[in-house]
Amino acid sequence: MTQTLLPVALANYVGLSAVIFFIGVAGVMLRRNPLVMLMSIELMWNAANLLFLAFARAWMNDAGHIFAFLVITVAAAEAAIGLAIVVAVFRTARNVDVDEVALMKG
């Protein structure tokens, strides 16, 4: 593989990333299980990461790699905190349907 050209045109990467991102959006909006919603959010993080790396490769710039690294870190922190919230809510409410959880309702 040469270093000069992308394997396919850049717009293909952007389109693939958009499709994966909106599958994640649909997952967050359609599923009521908080774990599946968190996994859909992970899908969206990864779509953004794919875009960072594709553009970094297209412009031969390392900054995209650094930013993708930062995004992976933030995604890991987000997953840990989200799962902790799920566990805490399940402990108090014994319920996993996000429509039924109204602990923070004023």
Residues 24-83 that bind other proteins (CB under 8 A): 24-27, 29-33, 35-36, 38-40, 42-43, 46, 49-50, 53-54, 56-60, 62-63, 65-70, 72-81, 83
Please state the closest distance from residue 106 (CB atom) to other proteins, in A. Answer: 21
Tell me if 102 contacts other proteins by CB under 8 A: no
Q: Shortest Cβ distance from residue 102 to other proteins (Å)? A: 15
27/39 Cα distance (integer angstroms) = 8
For 18-21, the CB contacts below 8 A with 24+ separation are 18/47, 20/44, 20/46, 20/47, 20/50, 21/47, 21/48
